[in-house]
Chains A and B, each alone.
Chain A
Amino acid sequence: MAISLKLNGETHSIDAEPGTPLLWVIRDELKLTGTKFGCGVASCGACTVHMDGEPVRSCQTFIEDVEDAEITTIEGLKSTPAQAVQQAWRELDVVQCGYCQSGQIMSAVGLLSENNKPTLEEIDDYMNGNACRCATYQRIRSAIVRASEIMEA
């Protein structure tokens, strides 16, 4: 079936079967590889994208459900919270292997977009679904706090 997909401000016509995860459309059809495959069961968050500004796991979001939505991937991030998060990630050198970090950043931007001054508990709660096997969690937490400060300044 042909589906019209709005992604990073552009409209694409996608020919995919219903039930196809958005993740594979983004990666294999649109060749945007910043969104990662980690588990396929919405358990690690590496595939997190924004759907109308809200973080969703693209491996469990299906192509037929995104027809009228605005999808944003790591490549399309532009918002003020996004810039603050990326600056904080750079200042604190959060990354190690980096494979989960697109998803971490998409979730962190989602958090700061709805709550620009989260407590440490709120950070842990919101970011719980984003796994990092390198265990960069200390820096993720600190970088979200730092991004919040950047946004406030």
Chain B
Amino acid sequence: MSVSTSRRGFLKGAAASAAAVLVIGVAPSGVMAAGNAADTTMLNPFVKISGDGTVTAIVKHFEKGQGPATGLTTLIAEELGVSMDAIEYEFAPSNPKLYNNKAFGPFQGTGGSTAMFNSFQQYRKAGAAAREVLLQAASHAWDVPVAQLKLEDGVISGAGNKAPVGQFVAAASTLTAPEEPRLKDPSEFKLIGNASVRRKDTPPKINGTAMYAMDVQLDNQMVVVIKRPTRRGGTIASFDDSAAKAVKGFIRAATLPNKAGVAVYAENTWAALQAREALDVTFDNSAAERRSSEDVYNELMAAVNTAPEYNLTKNDQAEVARAIDKADKVLEETFYFPLLAHAPMEPLTCTIEATEDGGIILHDGAQMPTSPHAALAQIFKLPMEKVQINTMFAGGSFGRRATPTVDYQVEAALAFVMTDRSRPVKLVWSREDDITGGYYRPAFAHKVRVGLDAEGNIVGWDHRIAGQSISKGTPFESFSVHDGVDHLSVEGVTPPPYSIPGMFAGLTDIKPATTVLWWRSVGHTHTAYVMESMMDAAAVAAGRDPVEFRLAHLSGDTADEKRLTDVLKLAAENAGWGTPADGRTQGVAVHKSFGSYVAEVVEISGDPENGVKIEKVTCAVDCGIPVNPDVIKAQMEGGIGYGIGHAMRDEITLEDGEVIQQNFPDYEPLRIGDIAEIETHIVLTTEAPTGVGEPGTPPSAPALANAIAAKGTRVTRLPMSKAGVTFT
């Protein structure tokens, strides 16, 4: 599977990032040695059982909404033999030796829709291993062969005996589990694939008790907000805080050691925000970025109109161009995708406090614990084991909490370093900080020429991509950059989802205009839009039905093409493809990302001039064995909303190097009335589980674009609002 192969490359990058996030050297072995989750009630690193029989799953992935707290707990409960009501969960401490993401190498972190993919066998085995030692302990206690015992709903029984598992925990913890415990046959599953399993994190999230990093209220804590330069590459020259001193609760202001901002310390958040407003700061912009979005646009357009820097398909572009020139029909389109902010609902925040033994604790919605763990050990000159990370709920991320630079945790650490460390420091970002100080989905341009023969079959496809690499120059470079090409810039185009004869693809990197980052579904955010818009335009030009045209180009016998075919058919059938209600049009898109296959049909009413209304999105997904079907549906709904909302009306623009948008009023989120209905269908399969956090996003915007194109307007420059499309 491609996801596993490509993510293996993360191993080297992960080791590098653990050590090289900043400038101070910590050997990767230091990471490996960190922590030890030994505990008498730990039956293994993932399963804890108390004497009263309470089972706790140790969840190695943080919970930002995508459901791993429920999913990984389900795997343990299934194999151990307890009900979902009888199992609790805790987030794992930072310890990449025990809790690494197996898709990332020796690195603990969440991303790339890998949580279920990398945990499925591991967590099942952990649950099964716990079951085996508990059964062994009961077997010894009762002098009954294990084969005669069973563990169901938290009770061990057999040969006339019956007792709750809690009774055997102490004895079981001294036993060694078999390396390969017996796993259930899928036909025995009671919880995996059960749509009635509810989310474990719902109860605290509906009564205000769920604790996010923003909710940390430690005794005597200070709140820090930071005044940052308004341009990338700018630094602090000087500041005057005399007006800030009038703000009640203001403590002090100080320039961060790296001159990347002025830290404003206060007794509470409001005082910190007020005092920052009152600061008079002079920036040194001598090395600052001064480009505007229009400059970036022009640079990208020039790049896709000249010979590409990298030949992705290793073939002769001129030959492909000649085939297209000779074709019966030729289509040509140029696409542009703007910068986008992630804007998770919870603005960035974390809190650092000193411990009595000279260590520190980071309270954080930590997406990649290994990175801040190493960075903080470096900054505080502490051994790894003196740095603890308390992983809390995260109010969304969409990629933003996983920066290779560990940006906000480093800010908090630098702010803490400048104190006497007697008071905890809580760093808070405002929404304006988030929108203007972001790490954005990079701007990209594509230019595509497609040739069709007289029967409407593709005979040539010339595809050029230009944009800013996400990974180059970061500790994660080796994860995705090979032979100079950042896979994250081209995934979704090469290899192409379809059997396309005579395809050329090329890439040109542009120099950084701003800080960029993976944004829910990464490169697929633009590649799927281009591939699926061009397939649609080609179908229309060929006079063929867009679903039939796609199926005809998915006729290969690869597993990928078959699974794409299946989801496409499933979505089309359930959407009533080809028979929209009066006055409505439909658009379709299908795409594979993160190992999962998703097709979506969008049905709209109205028209671009007077207002498009999104009436229904019908989705079909194949993500392997569906572990928590209702969570999968929720992720499709969320991924679709995220993709469509930004495509409709969002962009981040630069003017003289400064970000124009400030807050939600000018970076308008999707609202409840924007999509009337979403319906999701899940393919039942026994393939290994793959991701669901991201794969719902890529087909959503192109499916909408194709429905709008059927009304006469093909949007090639996003957002759609900028192309004159209005929505109701």
Whether a CB of chain A sits under 8 angstroms from the CB of B23 is no
Q: A38's contact among B347, B630, B674, by CB below 8 Å, is which?
A: B347
CB pair B201 A136 closer than 8 Å: no
Knowing A43-B663, A93-B630, A99-B212, the reply to whether A131 touches B396 (Cβ < 8 A) is no
Expressed in whole angstroms, the Cα–Cα distance for A64 and B393 within the complex equals 33
Residues of A within 8 A of B678 (CB): 138
Expressed in whole angstroms, the Cα–Cα distance for A139 and B199 within the complex equals 14
Whether a CB of chain B sits under 8 angstroms from the CB of A20 is yes
Expressed in whole angstroms, the Cα–Cα distance for A46 and B269 within the complex equals 16
- Does more than half of chain A's interface fall in helix, strand or loop, or is it mixed? loop
Q: Can you list, as one digit per residue, whether each of A10-46 has a CB less than 8 Å from chain B (1) or not (0)?
A: 0000000100110010011101111111111101101
Knowing A28-B269, A93-B202, the reply to whether A135 touches B637 (Cβ < 8 A) is yes
Expressed in whole angstroms, the Cα–Cα distance for A29 and B665 within the complex equals 28
CB pair A75 B207 closer than 8 Å: yes
CB B701 to nearest CB in A, in angstroms, measures: 13
CB pair B641 A98 closer than 8 Å: no
Q: Can you list, as one digit per residue, whether each of B141-173 has a CB less than 8 Å from chain A (1) or not (0)?
A: 000000000000000000000000000000000
Q: Can you list, as one digit per residue, whether each of B265-276 has a CB less than 8 Å from chain A (1) or not (0)?
A: 000111001000
**Which A residue sits closest to B672, measured CB to CB?**
A137
Knowing A44-B669, A97-B345, A130-B672, the reply to whether A39 touches B663 (Cβ < 8 A) is yes
Expressed in whole angstroms, the Cα–Cα distance for A133 and B670 within the complex equals 7
Q: Can you list, as one digit per residue, whether each of A124-136 has a CB less than 8 Å from chain B (1) or not (0)?
A: 1101101111111
Q: B65's contact among A28, A44, A73, A96, by CB below 8 Å, is which?
A: A96
Q: How large is the interface on B (under 10, 10 to 19, 20 to 34, 35 or more residues)?
A: 35 or more
Residues of A within 8 A of B675 (CB): 135, 137-138
B375-419 residues at the A interface, CB under 8 angstroms? 393-398
Expressed in whole angstroms, the Cα–Cα distance for A33 and B428 within the complex equals 14
Knowing A38-B431, A131-B669, the reply to whether A24 touches B345 (Cβ < 8 A) is no
Max chain A CB contacts within 10 Å: which of B214, B344, B634, B663? B634
A35-65 residues at the B interface, CB under 8 angstroms? 35-41, 43-44, 46
Whether a CB of chain B sits under 8 angstroms from the CB of A66 is no
Max chain B CB contacts within 10 Å: which of A29, A40, A89? A40
Whether a CB of chain A sits under 8 angstroms from the CB of B642 is yes
Whether a CB of chain B sits under 8 angstroms from the CB of A74 is yes
Whether a CB of chain B sits under 8 angstroms from the CB of A141 is yes
Expressed in whole angstroms, the Cα–Cα distance for A46 and B490 within the complex equals 37
**Which B residue sits closest to A98, measured CB to CB?**
B205
CB pair B346 A99 closer than 8 Å: yes
B597-655 residues at the A interface, CB under 8 angstroms? 630-631, 634, 637-638, 640-642, 645
**Which A residue sits closest to B398, measured CB to CB?**
A133
Q: Can you list, as one digit per residue, whether each of A93-117 has a CB less than 8 Å from chain B (1) or not (0)?
A: 1111111111001000000000000
Whether a CB of chain A sits under 8 angstroms from the CB of B430 is yes
Knowing A38-B345, A44-B345, A128-B671, the reply to whether A135 touches B206 (Cβ < 8 A) is no
CB pair A90 B208 closer than 8 Å: no
Q: Can you list, as one digit per residue, whether each of B664-683 has a CB less than 8 Å from chain A (1) or not (0)?
A: 11000111111111100000
CB pair A90 B65 closer than 8 Å: no
Q: A131's contact among B207, B211, B347, B671, by CB below 8 Å, is which?
A: B671
**Which B residue sits closest to A44, measured CB to CB?**
B664
CB A106 to nearest CB in B, in angstroms, measures: 10
Q: Can you list, as one digit per residue, whether each of B204-228 has a CB less than 8 Å from chain A (1) or not (0)?
A: 1111111110110100000100000
Whether a CB of chain A sits under 8 angstroms from the CB of B98 is no
Whether a CB of chain A sits under 8 angstroms from the CB of B66 is yes
CB pair A139 B663 closer than 8 Å: no
Expressed in whole angstroms, the Cα–Cα distance for A40 and B347 within the complex equals 11
CB pair A20 B664 closer than 8 Å: no
CB pair B396 A99 closer than 8 Å: yes
Whether a CB of chain A sits under 8 angstroms from the CB of B554 is no
Expressed in whole angstroms, the Cα–Cα distance for A85 and B208 within the complex equals 14
Residues of B within 8 A of A139 (CB): 634, 637
CB pair B664 A39 closer than 8 Å: yes
Knowing A24-B268, A38-B431, A128-B673, the reply to whether A133 touches B396 (Cβ < 8 A) is yes
Q: How large is the interface on A (under 10, 10 to 19, 20 to 34, 35 or more residues)?
A: 35 or more
CB pair A98 B670 closer than 8 Å: no
CB pair B205 A101 closer than 8 Å: yes
CB B264 to nearest CB in A, in angstroms, measures: 15
Whether a CB of chain A sits under 8 angstroms from the CB of B343 is yes
Whether a CB of chain B sits under 8 angstroms from the CB of A140 is yes
Whether a CB of chain B sits under 8 angstroms from the CB of A4 is no
Whether a CB of chain A sits under 8 angstroms from the CB of B198 is yes
CB pair A138 B270 closer than 8 Å: no
**Which B residue sits closest to A105, measured CB to CB?**
B206
Expressed in whole angstroms, the Cα–Cα distance for A41 and B664 within the complex equals 8
Whether a CB of chain A sits under 8 angstroms from the CB of B441 is no
Q: A97's contact among B217, B343, B346, B664, by CB below 8 Å, is which?
A: B346
Expressed in whole angstroms, the Cα–Cα distance for A75 and B215 within the complex equals 14
**Which A residue sits closest to B678, measured CB to CB?**
A138
CB pair B641 A90 closer than 8 Å: no
Expressed in whole angstroms, the Cα–Cα distance for A75 and B550 within the complex equals 52
Residues of A within 8 A of B642 (CB): 133-135
Q: A90's contact among B66, B198, B669, by CB below 8 Å, is which?
A: B198
Knowing A33-B215, A136-B638, the reply to whether A95 touches B671 (Cβ < 8 A) is no
CB B73 to nearest CB in A, in angstroms, measures: 14
CB pair B345 A132 closer than 8 Å: yes
Whether a CB of chain B sits under 8 angstroms from the CB of A123 is yes
Knowing A96-B65, A98-B393, A135-B645, the reply to whether A123 touches B672 (Cβ < 8 A) is yes
CB pair A127 B201 closer than 8 Å: no
CB pair A96 B207 closer than 8 Å: no
Residues of A within 8 A of B669 (CB): 44, 131-133
Expressed in whole angstroms, the Cα–Cα distance for A98 and B204 within the complex equals 9
Residues of A within 8 A of B201 (CB): 95, 98
CB A137 to nearest CB in B, in angstroms, measures: 4
CB A127 to nearest CB in B, in angstroms, measures: 5
Q: B677's contact among A34, A74, A77, A138, by CB below 8 Å, is which?
A: A138
Residues of B within 8 A of A37 (CB): 214, 269, 347
CB pair A98 B395 closer than 8 Å: yes
Residues of A within 8 A of B211 (CB): 33
Residues of B within 8 A of A96 (CB): 65-67, 396, 634, 638
Max chain A CB contacts within 10 Å: which of B394, B663, B673? B673
CB B201 to nearest CB in A, in angstroms, measures: 7
CB pair B208 A102 closer than 8 Å: yes
**Which A residue sits closest to B217, measured CB to CB?**
A31
Expressed in whole angstroms, the Cα–Cα distance for A43 and B214 within the complex equals 19
Expressed in whole angstroms, the Cα–Cα distance for A43 and B671 within the complex equals 11
CB A79 to nearest CB in B, in angstroms, measures: 14
CB A14 to nearest CB in B, in angstroms, measures: 12
CB pair B269 A27 closer than 8 Å: yes
Whether a CB of chain A sits under 8 angstroms from the CB of B358 is no
Expressed in whole angstroms, the Cα–Cα distance for A133 and B346 within the complex equals 10
Whether a CB of chain A sits under 8 angstroms from the CB of B252 is no
CB pair A41 B198 closer than 8 Å: no
CB B699 to nearest CB in A, in angstroms, measures: 15
Those 6 A-B pairs whose CB atoms lie nearest each other, nearest first: A34-B208, A135-B641, A99-B395, A98-B205, A96-B65, A97-B65
User: Would you list 12 pairs from A and B whose C-beta atoms are within 8 A, ordered by A residue?
Assistant: A36-B346, A36-B395, A38-B431, A40-B432, A41-B665, A77-B207, A95-B202, A96-B67, A97-B344, A99-B395, A101-B205, A134-B642
Apart from the given pairs A34-B209, A97-B65, A135-B638, 19 other A-B contacts in the complex at a CB distance below 8 Å: A29-B268, A36-B395, A38-B346, A40-B430, A43-B664, A44-B345, A90-B206, A95-B205, A95-B206, A96-B396, A97-B397, A98-B201, A98-B206, A99-B346, A99-B396, A120-B676, A138-B637, A138-B678, A139-B634
